Amino acid sequence: MTPVTLFWHRRDLRLDDNAGLYNALCSQLPVQPIFIFDSLILEKLPKSDKRVEFIHRSLNSLNKEYQSKGSSLKIYHGNPAELWPSILQEWNAQAVYTNHDYEPYALSRDQEIHKILLSKGVTFLTFKDQCIFEKGEILKDDGKPYTVFTPYSRKWKAKLDNQAINPFPVRAHLNNLNQQKPIPFPSLDELGFSETNLGELNYDVSENKLQRYGEYRDFPFLPGTSRISVHLRFGTVSIRQMVNIARKNSESWLNELIWRDFYMMILWHFPHVVGKAFKPAYDRIQWRNNPSEFEKWCQGKTGYPIVDAGMRQLNETGFMHNRVRMIVASFLTKHLLIDWRWGEAYFAEKLLDFELSSNNGGWQWAASSGCDAAPYFRIFNPAEQTKKFDSEGCYIRKWVKEIDEFNYPKPIVDHKFARERALKVYKEGLGKEGE
């Protein structure tokens, strides 16, 4: 059997400008692409998960591209550590190439896989692909990681200005793919999942869209955002390509891409943020954690129209406008005094673009427990936010159909009362640090 290099697709479901795939294709051996549906992740998901369908759809498109070049993508389903020994045998693999992943589960999984490959004499190589600057590439002058976004972004931009970001020319090397008859592609049903009403997840990074991004991005009823997040999350587009587009068209949109790198860097340097407050003092806050109030928040039945609209949009589509994400997160943590971890977990279950680092960063920002977070005494007033960002009620009416009817619920809590209660509880929890 001909020896091959395996390329393991994970969060990089594309051919173009794929760092690990490019490096694999430049190795001496034919490259066989594979993907593993990880049962350890899948078994925790509902059986009609939009993200699984999106991955499946993206892999199908990717496979067609491979087949047009005389190759084929092999899909596996199971526990990666249990699958790898037989995968190596099946293909006579001499090396495995993939791209870095920075989340705790992925890091421990890759460590385990590395040991398995090492024991079989197989090389394991990983590459930076899903962010521009990673790990310790952007540090303060004293060598410590940044914990405030603005100086981080300044250093990030200065480093970027001194170098070109060139795409990896994958297509120039596709003749190095392993020539392979079409391999059967599993259906969603065979993976134990069913189709959802996913629809087309189109994005728009046109010059016209991005040049007006800063002006329109905060208004949830306008199509003012790029809708690129799910594509960045699963790597169906290249972050390098997006940053090059942003540099030409929108400083405001570029900053959003930098926030993504920032939160990945925070997760890397401060892994305790998974499950604990970035600022330890904030773990002393006495959350109320009322289950029935949490349920009303989840269902979009709080009696605060902007909050309810956001939660219903999330439940129905797997998406929520970023301004509204901040409003609903502030409401849960400050108005209801429910632990940010509850909200973080709910978003993790529902968001199509769920990314651990950004989701965690966003929730800790809202709860004031994170790095560079809103101060604890900053408590969004939903009525004022509505006046500013949905003054005509267009967004609210789209998602809260019964807004003018008698059966729309009364507010779950009075804003003034909730604000004073939150300030008191935060001050008590933080002690002198809250003064």
**Quick one: tokens of 48?**
């009609």
Tell me where in the chain the CATH 1.10.579.10 domain(s) lie. 274-428
User: Is residue 92 among the annotated active site residues?
Assistant: no
User: Is residue 156 among the annotated active site residues?
Assistant: no
Tell me where in the chain the CATH 1.25.40.80 domain(s) lie. 131-166+203-269
Per-residue confidence (pLDDT) for residue 360, from 0 to 100? 98
Give the active site residue among 8, 297, 342, 363.
363
Q: How far is 74 from 93, CA to CA, in rounded Å?
A: 14
User: Is residue 8 among the annotated active site residues?
Assistant: no
Give the active site residue among 268, 322, 349, 381.
322
Q: Domain 1-129 in CATH: superfamily?
A: HUPs (3.40.50.620)
User: Is residue 84 among the annotated active site residues?
Assistant: no
User: Is residue 53 among the annotated active site residues?
Assistant: no
The CATH number corresponding to 131-166+203-269 among 1.25.40.80, 3.60.15.10, 3.20.20.210, 1.10.1740.10 equals: 1.25.40.80
Torsion angle of the four alpha carbons 377, 378, 384, 385, in this order, in degrees rounded to the nearest 10? -150
- Domain 274-428 annotated CATH 1.10.579.10: yes
Per-residue confidence (pLDDT) for residue 108, from 0 to 100? 96
Per-residue confidence (pLDDT) for residue 435, from 0 to 100? 46
Give the active site residue among 84, 259, 297, 399.
259
Give the active site residue among 195, 287, 315, 349.
287
Give the active site residue among 256, 315, 349, 381.
256
Q: How far is 251 from 256, CA to CA, in rounded Å?
A: 9
Tell me where in the chain the CATH 3.40.50.620 domain(s) lie. 1-129
Give the active site residue among 91, 340, 365, 399.
340
Q: What are the pLDDT tens digits along the chain (435 aa)?
A: 899 999 999 999 999 999 999 999 999 899 999 999 999 999 999 999 999 999 999 999 999 999 999 999 999 999 999 999 999 999 999 999 999 999 999 999 999 999 999 999 999 999 999 999 999 999 999 999 999 999 999 999 999 997 889 999 999 999 999 999 999 999 999 999 999 989 899 999 999 999 999 999 999 999 999 999 999 999 999 999 999 999 999 999 999 999 999 999 999 999 999 999 999 999 999 999 999 999 999 999 999 999 999 999 999 999 999 999 999 999 999 999 999 999 999 999 999 999 999 999 999 999 999 998 889 999 999 999 999 999 999 999 999 999 999 999 999 999 999 999 999 999 999 985 554
Q: How far is 87 from 297, CA to CA, in rounded Å?
A: 45
User: Is residue 287 among the annotated active site residues?
Assistant: yes
Q: Name the phi and psi angles at 124, rounded to 5.
A: -125, 115
DSSP 8-state symbol, 77: E
Work out the burial of residue 48: count CB atoms within 10 Å of its CB; fewer than 13 is exposed, 13-18 middle, 19 or more buried: middle
Q: Bridge partners of 4?
A: 93
The b-or-e profile of 298-311 (16+ CB within 10 A means b, else e) is bebbbebbbbbbbb
